[in-house]
Structure 1
Amino acid sequence: MNSFSLIEQKYLPELDTEAKIYEHKGTGAEILFLSNQDENKCFGIAFRTPPQDSTGVAHILEHTVLCGSEKYPVKDPFVQLLKGSLQTFLNAFTYPDKTCYPVASQNIQDFHNLVEVYLDAVFKPRITRDFFMQEGWHYHLEEIDQPLEYKGVVYNEMKGVYSSPESVLMEASQQSLFPNTTYGLDSGGKPEVIPQLTYEAFKEFHANFYHPSNACIVFYGDDPEEDRFRLLAEYLNAYSKIKPNSSVEVQKPFVEPIRVTLPYAVSESELNPTPMFTINWALPSPVKAETVFSFNLLDHILLGTPASPLRKALIESGLGEDLTGGGLETHLKQMCFCVGLKGVDKKQLEKAETLIFDTLQTLVTSGVSDQDIQAALNSFEFDLRENNSGGFPRGLALWLKSLNGWVYGADPLELIAFENPLQKLTQQAQQPGFFEAMLKTYFIENNHRSTVTLHPDPGLATETESAEKDRLANIKNEMSLPQLEKIQQQTAALLQLQEAPDSTEAIASLPLLNRKDLEPQIKTIHSQEQFHKEATILQHPLFTNGILYMDLGLNLNILDEDEIPYVSLLGNLYLEMGTKNTTYSELSQRIAITTGGIYGTPFISPHEEHADSIHHFFFRGKCMLSRVDDLLHLFKEILLHPTFDDSERFKQIVLEHKSDLESSIIPRGHSAVMTRLKATDHTAYTLNEKIGGIDALFFARDLLERIDTDWLKIHEKIETIHQKMISQNGVLINLTAEDPALKNLLPKVEQFVSTLPTCSNQPTQLHKQTYSTSEALIVPSRINFVGAAANLYEYDYQMHGSALVISRYLQTAWLWEKIRVQGGAYGGMCAFDQRAGTFTFASYRDPNLEDSIEIYKQTGQFLKELKLDEAELTRSLIGAIGQLDAYMLPDSKSFTNTKRQLLGYTDTKRQKLRDDVLSTTQQHFNQFGEILDAAFRNPRVAVLCDQESAVQAGLKTQTIVL
């Protein structure tokens, strides 16, 4: 405590949090303590790291500081923590001008362990040349007569990023606005520039920026303050104050708007590829809450709902398929706003640009509607007060929001203490002309803007790869034999390092919980179940801070096979086509004005007890308890009085859906191949493939082709699905709120159920589909996503909870070493599905293809020969228990418990799984290896890659061009 000065102390009633801002006396390090009753304790340290080039130095350093440190000299302390801690969050992020290292845990000792390892990592990393080569880039040459290659985890990661047109567009949009600042560069690294980074420059970057004087540090939760001071003092007291050169220049305003045109890669077989564009505006700095909040509201007004005027104008114009740009961006020194369209005919580009300005001008001239303002205010205030960060810890979400101003000199509390600025803004927003003035100043009359257009280039991916190969061939030709031999020796030395295990002493240096620290009993979630007519009503009495969460599950078991693909559209059709009593714009406004939002999501999974599947479609809504009547009325309106008559609106929804599916393929390629591979093993997973996988994309494309010529049949199909679904039979309602409120709610919910019709539709017998055992899904990507799968139940495997321990161990040991460290992929993963029996492997942004498949095949042999010491086995058990005990907010707790009840996954079965996990031995690993070895001698394979990679791999695959 003596080393720290208290600068400010304030209670934040809106967060029920005591906030204290400290400064470390010796270094000037800025520290924020947020103390409250949240058991999910969080720590984060961020450094201002503005790069001076696009070599990716900040990104490579983010990876490399987690490759061992002075106190913890193991090769991968990060993965060791993933493997053997109870962490609820563990990661690191590189932004355009800062790098963040956050951790979280519910266990106090585990939390302290995580903080110590991260502090040692950032301040005392090993960052050797070998780790620079592994994580960043290096020339790779195993034999003199082989072609020279670039390898490195970040290098391959960024090849994947630049394979996504949407990523290229967003990066170009940001860079175009700030060309003379650090934002005109790519902090992640451009693949063609990354090899220009030297090890010396890399080391210098750490020395310049990873210093307490350049840090913003947070502690959050219920951990003792004295522990926080102790942990920090050990590292900060070793430094003296410096003045780091880490400030970011403000871009000089443009005199005239600029235009940027770039190519993007498409498959050579793609028919009629189309351009995409954004218009981008530079905005003020995000250091004042009133300024940021006002732009948050304006962003919601323009784009936040299907009824928002700019969004509506662009979608209804028919000029493009879907929005691009993302709207408001607040994590730079100058905020920006980006919006545009994808799927635009090149002849319509000018018309689409004009439409954006015409729409904004109309809003200035005619005024923003009171309904749009009220919708934005309610949605924004609800989000602030709910403080629901999903699976991301609340403390880290607050810290990242704070950093948006803090790293540029703002008070750390400026953007998170929202009560006063929100009240001021609410008053300002009611004043006539407030948002119109903003639109006029910052959009209509703002010349600091850019238009970025990407045009499709079918040959770009091939040209880029050829250029890389030619460049490497030229480099090799210019090298002398001694130079080549040196590279060969460096390659061999790196491979030897990667293959060598950490010493027992190094592993022992890492802090580790004891088995006695693991809770043997499951955490139960209390619920009450009752029935009203044909419906089941679940009640979860949890503290929700005055909010009701309501999940309404409709039975899909009555749908025919040809109706299943439409399920992916249901949420949008019910919520974005209007009703017989209200237009879709009015419906969207009512939802935003009176609730915290409503959305739809399917839930389809095998049952625990029998071979059938559970098929439900959930509408998930939330509101303040004072607005329960509004939420129930909206549910009634949506479900009982929908209209699906407008074929043009339907077409717009399908176009957006298709575009979303296409945009997600490359960024989530591992998910696409895993979904595809599981589809063969169970009816539920066949349906998931048809609703959210590659099949769903083909269905959406086909549906678009048929709308104009076959609308009556399509409309009839949707009406039939609606009539089948809207029934009391099989309805499940889940209510989450404080106990007294639930008692008062029940009569209203029962009355709502009574308004639903009853029907006598019988469950439909659906069938699983057999997919090809080897598929290549062709996309214009410079990097691969490689998957393989087998059904272990077909090899007489009997489910045991040790499978969870083994799967996590494989992911954090075998696959990490083989796929990521040695293979250079961004990630490798595996999962066992205990209900269907599918064991699935996948890699992410992988430069390899057949090598990765071979590694999957070798996994069984690895497990058969594996010998674990007691510490490593304990580490594995801890990681598995951490996975079982994931932290959940109230809405997630109740919905998770609801799904468990649907599936027949009882607390007794959960306890059995936990007992299995805690009793796992090395013998379980070895026996599981026997099964894997047999199952993966001839696995099912699915890869997402380009055409050339598929051909070179020589796999006997069915090729599907996406």
Structure 2
Amino acid sequence: MTNLNPHPAFTLKSKHHIEALDITVLLCEHTATGATHYHLACDNDENALMIGFATQPMTSRGEAHILEHVVLCGSQKYPVRDPFFSMIKRSLQTFMNAMTASDWTVYPFASQNKNDYFNLLSVYLDAVFFPNIHELDFAQEGIRLELDKQGRPEYHGIVFNEMKGAMSGEIDQLYYALAPHLYPTTTYHYNSGGDPKEIVKLTHADLVNFHKTHYHPSNAIIMSFGDIDVADIQARLHDDALVRFDDAEKPSRGKQFVSMTETRLNEPVQVYDTYTADVSGEKMTHNVLAWLLPSITDPKQRLALRLMEGVLIEHAGSPLRAYLDSSPLGTSASPLLGLDDSHYEMAFYAGVRGSERELADDVENGILELLRSVAENPIDNETIQTILHQIELDQRHIGGDSMPYGLTLMLEGFGTALHGGNPVDMWEIDEHLSWLSEQVKEPNWVQNLIKTHLIDNPHRVRLTLSPDKDKAQRLIDDEKASLDKLNTTLSDEDKALIRQKSAELATRQAMIDDVDILPKVGLDDIPKAIKFAHANKQPITIGQDERTLYEYHAGTNGLYYYQVVLDLNDNLGILNNPLLPLYLELLSELGTDRYDARTFQAVQASVSSGVTARISQRTDRHDKEAMTSYLVVATRALARKPEAVELVSDVLNNTIFTETDRMSELLQQKQASWQSRLSASGHSYAIQTASRSMSKLSSLEYRYSGLPALSALKSFLKQSETDQAVWQTLSVRLAQIHEQVQNLPKDVILVCESDKADELKAVIKDVLNTPHKPVKSSVVVHDTLLAFDELSNSDDNKDIAWLIATNVYHNATAYPATTSGHEDTPALTVLAPFLRNGYLHSAIREKGGAYGGGASFDANSASFRFYSYRDPHCVATFLHFEKSIDWLLDNDHDADKLEEAILGIIGGMDKPASPAGEAVKACFSELHGRTKEMQEAIRAKLLAVTIDDLKRVAHTYLKDKPHVKASLAPLEKESQMAELGFDCHKIG
């Protein structure tokens, strides 16, 4: 363990060791300024730090969000235009970001290199406490006026365009239609990210003032995690920032914002609103109830409400979830469902999507009646114990596969700390869990929670949100009318000033910064070897087959991770089946020969995290028309519950596909959820569309898991409303896939702590060799499911535009390239960040106003792709993709820029996962033929790439070479996209 003595400038307020996590939490206060510092000391070399502030905007002009962008555009010590993006290129960071929530803003980073960690800390400290907040950076990142070729004003700005994209998402519109009524007087009433209609009212002076009042050390909470001594971290905090708060301009003490308590409603309210949609069709309305609950600062009450939530909606068999999923008043439960503890005062949501406006009363009455029924009847102890089990399972699971583990912990505790609670209560809940276990023994204790916080709680809002196919165009027209009105008030002098500011911004964007004033690491700091978890491979007999058990020992905090891996490699009958993705979606959600679907979900929840099914695929290293494929059925469980192993076998051996009502519910949910995420993931779908024909795997993924599959699912569900026979056909065809899957060869992955391995292996061997009667389909059908079977028709290489309800573009261009084993792959891999860093970021984001843009090489699709995200432009962006190639070929380039590109690639490769995640990642790398030695050889080749290599592969694969374009574009732009040569498609 590291030295736990704080720096002299800090006062130690408390120290607490969390046994289960082996972390010691220090709470310190900077004596002079009152800045709060939580340090989570542990033996983890992925050190992380987060600087956070209470930010409480009382408008929807986006000041907190835009400030988050602008403070990272240069500071007193580092006066370069974009130190944040520059440090991404000059660092081995495993995470760098900035995030704005409703009532806080945080600046997190992580690195495994200690020099790099302190470099990042220096840049972040100067950025948040001493930013330049230049007026032109506000214009670039936030909002500005420019004049078009005819001299008419237009709005531009990165956050402005980002929020246009965000607010075209169905779920965002649902939440922000509800929040102002649930929180009528506090900061949560407003959109902290910014409403585009309101962002245009924000001024530079507003931003400067918001920083002055909110970004003071007295209002800061700093959290750190890892094996660096706390005193070393605090020395940097003090010397680089906090000690400088000592005069009239920067006083040692500033305002500390306190949590806002909402004025409570005396009676429920009803609200009607609309959202942008492709069509104003039937069964597209959301009817949702929301209740305001107590604050998050009481850990016992928070845990009690988590239990209440679990009793109602933990799994498909829970009463409220079952009611909402199966209700004829909607197609599925609302995406706003359950306990929301992200604000000072929590909320609970329940409702349906796919409903009708005139059914609002029925939905409300049905939910309240269901709640009364639960509250008036006994709740069996098994249900309570299942929820307590799930809470413990969540607590013990060590994350870190998508975000560094330390940052995950810090974000879990930050809200509690912000609002005056003790974040240790979020990291160590054993004592509170014991209290909860005693409380539930009291008669009607859980029922009384439901009565108090839901049934008898008058602070309830009912929102009816209906589709409006004309709303997107109306928003465009409203913005145009606003600009037309503004145009009538602009004098020649006003327009001259706008042109002058535009010219100044263009000059600033074209400046070559002296980035050498920023700290950096170099190629010498890159470890030559990679970390790679090695399995203890053991033979295991499964039936008549001799297969392999891959055993990994890791610090899993009392959990084990169990996966059955089925080899699909030679079974094209399964891989080419357009219903395979639906099969995977439904596999663990349906019933078995012993349990119906809802009961089986309860059984899964009682002993595990649930069972999941997925497919793992990689393109062959040398042949783009070949691939390795594995079907994976997995679970996670407490080591004291080995019966979870049997669940996986139940799913594989005993699933039945006859519960068509449940299948309908699940597919309705999938379609609605999929469609609502299009705007948020638009660039991914554009990339997938553009590269769809460049490898066997990319073709399969596009047709069966891309937008054609969504369109087919939507068509199938529409057809099923009038032709119930299609469910019988689907049922039998899924059962036929299942019969094929049962006969696939199986291997096993087990990740656990070493002292649990032998017991678990004995259970695994016993379960896998227990005879079972294969579930066979008694019916053979040859009927087609036209919507899905037509997916097998191959697409040509047309440029495609998918038209969706959005007001920004997501663009992509793909060029055929190489597989992972080709000699040009390392150069193509480095070329992508080189083009992004040197040209695309500036052209598409800074100057073009898109939220993001770049390039990537993907060996699975054997393609090199350009993309943009939440982009106000279409034609100009596609031109920039091509211009970036000319920029590379027509200019000389510094070796430093090449080094930056390589650093970024290696940093991404070296990002650690959780202990279990590292083991599973290593196992699948080997299964797909990517050994440790092979990966280290690729690493060496990446480090050897030259500028000449980049130019050579650009000539070979990109310059004047065939390519495919794709765009997710606004519905209203169909004629324009067609004129540009795109084949226009709509969903369903």
| TM-score in terms of structure 1 length | 0.95
Paired with 1:583 and 1:918, the residues of 2 have a C-alpha distance of 55
Deviates more, 1:367-376 or 1:72-81: 367-376
1:481-880 pair list within 5 angstroms: 481-502=492-513, 506-531=514-539, 532=541, 533=545, 535-556=547-568, 557-558=570-571, 560=573, 564-610=577-623, 611-628=625-642, 630-704=643-717, 705-706=719-720, 708-727=724-743, 729-755=744-770, 769-793=794-818, 798-880=823-905
Deviates more, 1:531-540 or 1:390-399: 531-540
Paired with 2:664 and 2:89, the residues of 1 have a C-alpha distance of 47
Q: Which amino acid aligns with 1:790?
A: Y
Task: Report SS of the residue matched to 1:627.
Answer: coil
Paired with 1:758 and 1:573, the residues of 2 have a C-alpha distance of 21
Structure 2 stretches of 5 or more lacking a match? 1-6, 246-250, 777-790
Alpha-carbon contact 1:789-1:840 (below 8 Å) kept: yes
Shift in Å, 1:243:
4.2
Percent of residue pairs identical: 27
Paired with 2:897 and 2:282, the residues of 1 have a C-alpha distance of 55
2:976 counterpart of 1:952: yes
Paired with 2:226 and 2:767, the residues of 1 have a C-alpha distance of 40
Alpha-carbon contact 1:564-1:687 (below 8 Å) kept: no
| TM-score in terms of structure 2 length | 0.93
Task: State the partner residue of 1:449.
Answer: 460
Paired with 1:849 and 1:929, the residues of 2 have a C-alpha distance of 23
Alpha-carbon contact 1:60-1:154 (below 8 Å) kept: yes
Alpha-carbon contact 1:726-1:757 (below 8 Å) kept: no
Deviates more, 1:517-526 or 1:124-133: 517-526
Distance 1:767 1:573, change over 3 A: closer
Alpha-carbon contact 1:94-1:100 (below 8 Å) kept: yes
Task: Report SS of the residue matched to 1:565.
Answer: coil
Shift in Å, 1:756:
7.2
Root mean square deviation of aligned Cα? 2.2
Alpha-carbon contact 1:526-1:541 (below 8 Å) kept: no
Among 16, 28, 32, the residue aligned to 1:26: 32
1:132-143 pair list within 5 angstroms: 132-141=138-147, 143=149
Paired with 2:518 and 2:366, the residues of 1 have a C-alpha distance of 59
Alpha-carbon contact 1:860-1:928 (below 8 Å) kept: no
Distance 1:141 1:886, change over 3 A: same
Shift in Å, 1:261:
1.3
Task: Report SS of the residue matched to 2:425.
Answer: coil
Paired with 2:133 and 2:982, the residues of 1 have a C-alpha distance of 42
Shift in Å, 1:562:
9.1
Among 426, 433, 441, the residue aligned to 1:415: 426
1:311-350 pair list within 5 angstroms: 311-324=321-334, 325-350=336-361
Alpha-carbon contact 1:84-1:877 (below 8 Å) kept: no
Q: Which amino acid aligns with 1:825?
A: A
Paired with 1:663 and 1:454, the residues of 2 have a C-alpha distance of 14
Q: Deviations over 1:672-702 (max 9, x none)?
A: 1112222211221222223421122122123
Q: Deviations over 1:135-178 (max 9, x none)?
A: 100001254x2432101011001101111121111122222111
Shift in Å, 1:836:
3.9
Alpha-carbon contact 1:42-1:395 (below 8 Å) kept: yes
Q: Deviations over 1:427-486 (max 9, x none)?
A: 213332121111100100001110112111111111110111121122112111111111
Alpha-carbon contact 2:611-2:648 (below 8 Å) kept: no
Shift in Å, 1:758:
12
Task: Report SS of the residue matched to 2:669.
Answer: helix
Deviates more, 1:846-855 or 1:7-16: 7-16
Q: Which amino acid aligns with 1:461?
A: A
Task: State the partner residue of 1:290.
Answer: 300
Distance 1:785 1:495, change over 3 A: same
Task: State the partner residue of 1:903.
Answer: 928
Q: Which amino acid aligns with 1:323?
A: A
Paired with 2:694 and 2:764, the residues of 1 have a C-alpha distance of 38
Divergent runs of 4+, >6 A: 756-759
Distance 1:326 1:134, change over 3 A: farther
Alpha-carbon contact 1:176-1:184 (below 8 Å) kept: yes
Task: Report SS of the residue matched to 1:9.
Answer: strand
Task: Report SS of the residue matched to 1:512.
Answer: coil
Paired with 1:946 and 1:256, the residues of 2 have a C-alpha distance of 40
Alpha-carbon contact 2:833-2:901 (below 8 Å) kept: yes
Q: Which amino acid aligns with 1:860?
A: I
Paired with 2:903 and 2:101, the residues of 1 have a C-alpha distance of 31
Paired with 1:710 and 1:410, the residues of 2 have a C-alpha distance of 54
Task: State the partner residue of 2:108.
Answer: 102
Shift in Å, 1:389:
4.4
2:226 counterpart of 1:221: yes
Total equivalences in the alignment: 948
Paired with 1:442 and 1:192, the residues of 2 have a C-alpha distance of 35
Alpha-carbon contact 1:778-1:960 (below 8 Å) kept: yes
1:146-157 pair list within 5 angstroms: 146-157=151-162
Q: Deviations over 1:761-788 (max 9, x none)?
A: 9xxxx98933442111011211111111
Paired with 2:222 and 2:87, the residues of 1 have a C-alpha distance of 21
Paired with 2:957 and 2:65, the residues of 1 have a C-alpha distance of 36
Structure 1 stretches of 5 or more lacking a match? none
Paired with 2:690 and 2:769, the residues of 1 have a C-alpha distance of 42
Task: State the partner residue of 1:264.
Answer: 275
Alpha-carbon contact 2:814-2:963 (below 8 Å) kept: yes
Shift in Å, 1:656:
1.0
Q: Deviations over 1:634-654 (max 9, x none)?
A: 122222221211221111111
Task: Report SS of the residue matched to 2:355.
Answer: coil
Task: Report SS of the residue matched to 1:31.
Answer: strand
Alpha-carbon contact 1:274-1:346 (below 8 Å) kept: no
Task: State the partner residue of 2:316.
Answer: 306
Among 397, 403, 424, the residue aligned to 2:408: 397
Shift in Å, 1:755:
4.2
Task: Report SS of the residue matched to 2:399.
Answer: coil
Q: Deviations over 1:494-544 (max 9, x none)?
A: 122112221xxx311111113221111222221133443154322223232
Q: Deviations over 1:82-123 (max 9, x none)?
A: 222111111111111111111111111111111111111001
Task: State the partner residue of 2:963.
Answer: 939
Paired with 1:682 and 1:691, the residues of 2 have a C-alpha distance of 14
Paired with 2:980 and 2:770, the residues of 1 have a C-alpha distance of 57
Task: State the partner residue of 1:171.
Answer: 176
Paired with 1:196 and 1:132, the residues of 2 have a C-alpha distance of 13
2:92 counterpart of 1:89: no
Paired with 1:273 and 1:851, the residues of 2 have a C-alpha distance of 38
2:478 counterpart of 1:470: no
Alpha-carbon contact 1:156-1:847 (below 8 Å) kept: yes
Among 445, 453, 458, the residue aligned to 1:434: 445
Paired with 1:563 and 1:608, the residues of 2 have a C-alpha distance of 21
Among 206, 213, 217, the residue aligned to 1:208: 213
